[in-house]
Structures are given as structure tokens and as C-alpha cells.
């Protein structure tokens, strides 16, 4: 695990870490990470977020569902999935000790627009990555085709109109991370409106 960081240094130095190993966050750290997620700004206080945690054997069992859904997606294109494609999908969640699927249970009847409900869950994701970084835990936000697959949404207890905002991977970084803020010139993205 890396050294704990202050919130500001966590914000400025957070990196996506694709290779994450044991140990994962402790129960207490995971609880802090989830609470950080649920502290995100949330228009209308609708609490649209749902957090589905995968660890241990559950990662492999869900991987079997991921592989099955990939097989069907490929078949729907009139093609056949290769063994290596299916194997890769099956073991996907083993890339970190803990994965949290952050989902948006969207109330489409509500006056708060759906995109703002989704935005609250994206803010939750970022809060969680920052909390993890501040705790010295490596993290990565992933999405991909399963996020939009109805069968995967159903397996996560979501409706078709709900969204999977991110699969957040948590664990210990295999190598020391390099901050990405150095030499970063943000002026091209910033203007002052007069």
C-alpha cells in the first residue's frame, strides 16, 4: 500500500492503476470509501447510487455471467466468441481484490433530469477514487460493454433504464505510481468569460 495522502494531494495525484493486488481495502476502509461515494452532491437528494461489492469467490462467479453475456452479444452479431475472449472475460474481476459496481437507479418520472441523477453517481465514483487514494489504496474506474448489457444490469438488480456508472477496482498498486499533474498546462481548457 502507498502512504496515506491528504485530500488535496490525493486529488492532484490520483492515477488509474490497472494492476492491483492483495491486500484490498479492509472492511473499515471499504466502508469509508462507500460513505465518501454516498456523500457526493445529489440534486434532489434522490440517492440514485447503488453500490454492488465483489470480492473473493464472487468475482469469479460474476465473471462467469460476464463471459456468458459476452458470448450472447457476439452471437447476436452472427459471430462466435473465441475461447480466449471468454476466458479473459471470465477472469476480468480477478484484476483487483475488490470491485465496486457503482450504479444509477434512475427515477425517470422525477423532475430532476435523468442525466443529473446519473451525474450524481459519477460524482460518487470520483469521491470513492479520491477517498481510496487518500487511504493509500490503488484504484481504477472501468466501464466497457457489460455496463450496457441488460442481462448484466439484471444480475446487478437494476432495471433496463438504470445505468452502471463504473466498475471501480480497488487494491494495492504493484508499482509506485507517477503523479500526472507535472508539466500539466490547464490554460487551454480554461477561459474567463467577460
Ligand X SMILES: Cc1cc2nc3c(=O)[nH]c(=O)nc-3n(C[C@H](O)[C@H](O)[C@H](O)COP(=O)(O)O)c2cc1C
In whole angstroms, how close is the CB of 192 to ligand X at the nearest point? 26
88 counts as binding ligand X under rule CB under 6 A: no
Quick check: 95 and 169 in contact, CB under 8 A? Answer: yes
- Whole-number minimum distance, CB 67 to ligand X, in Å? 17
- The CA distance from 101 to 128, in Å, is 11
Rg for the chain, CA atoms, rounded: 18
Q: Is 27 or 115 the residue whose CB approaches ligand X more closely?
A: 115
User: Does 39 help bind ligand X (rule: CB under 6 A)?
Assistant: no
Is residue 141 involved in binding ligand X (CB under 6 A)?
yes
What are the beta bridge partners of residue 140?
Answer: 169
**Count of chain residues binding ligand X (CB under 6 A):** 8
Interface residue with ligand X among 71, 88, 95, 142 (CB under 6 A) is 142
Nearer to ligand X, 19 or 47 (CB): 19
Q: What backbone phi and psi angles, to 5 degrees, belong to 69?
A: -70, -35
According to the binding rule CB under 6 A, does residue 118 interact with ligand X?
A: no
Using CB under 6 A, which residues numbered 46 to 65 contact ligand X? Answer: none
- CA-CA distance, 147 to 189, in Å (whole number)? 29
Task: Show Cβ contacts of residue 82 under 8 Å, excluding neighbours closer than 6 positions.
Answer: none
Which residues lie near ligand X (CB under 6 A)?
Answer: 15-16, 141-144, 166, 180
Amino acid at each position: 500500500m502507498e502512504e496515506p495522502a491528504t485530500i488535496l494531494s490525493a486529488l492532484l495525484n490520483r492515477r488509474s492503476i490497472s494492476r492491483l493486488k492483495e491486500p484490498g481495502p479492509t472492511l473499515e476502509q471499504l466502508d469509508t470509501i462507500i460513505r465518501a461515494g454516498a456523500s457526493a452532491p445529489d440534486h434532489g437528494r434522490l440517492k440514485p447510487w447503488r453500490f454492488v461489492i465483489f470480492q473473493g469467490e464472487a468475482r469469479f462467479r460474476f465473471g462467469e455471467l460476464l463471459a456468458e453475456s459476452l458470448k450472447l452479444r457476439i452471437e447476436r452479431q452472427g459471430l462466435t466468441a473465441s475461447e480466449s475472449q471468454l476466458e479473459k472475460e471470465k477472469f476480468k474481476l480477478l484484476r483487483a481484490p475488490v470491485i465496486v459496481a457503482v450504479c444509477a437507479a434512475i427515477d425517470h418520472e422525477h423532475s430532476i433530469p435523468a442525466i443529473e441523477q446519473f451525474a450524481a453517481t459519477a460524482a460518487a465514483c470520483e469521491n470513492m477514487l479520491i477517498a481510496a487514494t487518500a487511504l493509500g489504496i490503488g484504484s481504477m474506474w472501468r466501464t466497457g460493454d457489460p455496463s450496457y448489457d441488460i442481462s448484466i444490469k439484471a444480475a446487478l438488480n437494476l432495471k433496463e433504464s438504470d445505468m452502471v456508472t463504473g466498475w471501480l477496482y480497488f487494491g494495492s498498486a504493484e508499482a509506485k505510481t507517477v503523479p500526472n499533474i507535472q508539466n500539466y498546462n490547464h490554460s487551454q481548457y480554461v477561459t474567463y468569460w467577460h
